[in-house]
Structure 1
Amino acid sequence: MEQLVLDLAAPEPPSFANFVPGPNAEALGVLARFAAGAVAETGVVVWGAAGSGKTHLLHAAVAAALAAGRSAIYVADHGVLTATEAEVLARHELVAVDSVDAANADAQGKLFSVFNALRARGRNLLAASSAPPAALPLREDVRTRLGWGLVFEILPLADSDKPAALVAWAQQRGFGLSDDVIRYLLAHGRRDMASLLATLAALDRHSLATKRAITVPLLRDWIQRDFRLER
């Protein structure tokens, strides 16, 4: 039974389909085209506060690029970035680098070289940061190159907009959510959208596996089980 719960709780891989756009619909549309190689710019930067979904979008872009037959790589470890030759990284058609604002001097130098190598080949760099390129604590030439492309601030969904977004997301997956379930989830679950959607996705699988309707008792039972598994 515990293994079944673990299987049901496994998060879905990040994709554009399971990202609730909210005020980020334009950015989501551009990123989908960018991942497919249909945007002329070499680079795109997404920036915003922690929990806004930047890492999700980078993973989603890599997954979409791979699905479209493009080679793509996600880089979160700046040590890996520094240790890998720029020409090797530029063999990929899309390179997604997370947390560029935290890059040290060596990583900044490599990022500069990777950008130039990708640009020379007509390929793409997707970067995520906590601030727009002009405000990043990076070398001027790195900031300049990141700022050459498209820049999008990723805004978190307002609490007042979350109930409607959760209902719409559930409807797309073929199940409904009562007001009571939504209120309980927002009151007792993690409030960032990534965690809320992960809980709903797991709850949907749990509902199908147990042949029980999605109700407050089922949600309460699931949240308690999930909490016990994390301890």
Structure 2
Amino acid sequence: MAEGINIEQIVQEVLDRVLQSSTGVEDMETVTSLTGVKSLPGQKGDKLVNVPFELISKVANDAATRANAAAKEAEESIAGLEDKTQDAIDAAKDANDAAAKAEDAVELVENTTIASLQGATARFSGIIEEGEIKPDKSTVPGGEIVWVRNAKRFAYRVEGSLHGDWESDGIPSSAMFQKNGIPLADKLYMQGTSLYVLDAGDLKVLAYRHEPISEDDFEALPEKDDNILYLIYEED
């Protein structure tokens, strides 16, 4: 070893030359593509190490795997929810169908009951040619049910007024004759010894029973119906 050479000076000179020939991280070339790049520099403790891209991509791959698993689980949950939703829709439809059938059954029972209560015939008191029918409901007793020709409907006549709806003790209710102001078509109406039916919305005589009358009494009748057969006898 030559005299006058200091070991520390030699080490320092070597370090200076290494530093001069080294490239700092901030001085490295920045690339725009990973093609051909295999690793990144890194520091582990006091050492500089190479970090392979396989390790970096593993983190991303693991994250992608977990994301895919979560997505699959979400899809399965959604599919299960869709199945449950469809089951609920089907159950609601079945319930609606059952409710509709129940309503139809109730309506059938109601109609049958009403028909039974109304009977096949209804008796009224007389026929008037015209009158103004009030839409209100009358509960005044002592009136009578009449057919109003110009209105082509039944009415309750009491205290000089005609009412389109009524409910009074001792008087057949309006439901026996009409519904919502429209006369019931499929029934017979009786007045005295005459039997009437609805024809083209008007009340027509179906049958009439009259005691034998004389020719004078026949001529004195204020109205004669072509559909009525009159029995006339001659006095001795």
Shorter-chain TM-score range: under 0.3
Greater fraction helix: 1
Larger radius of gyration: 2
Normalised by the length of structure 1, the TM-score is 0.23
Q: Which has the higher contact order (CA 8 A, sep 6+)?
A: 1
Greater fraction strand: 2
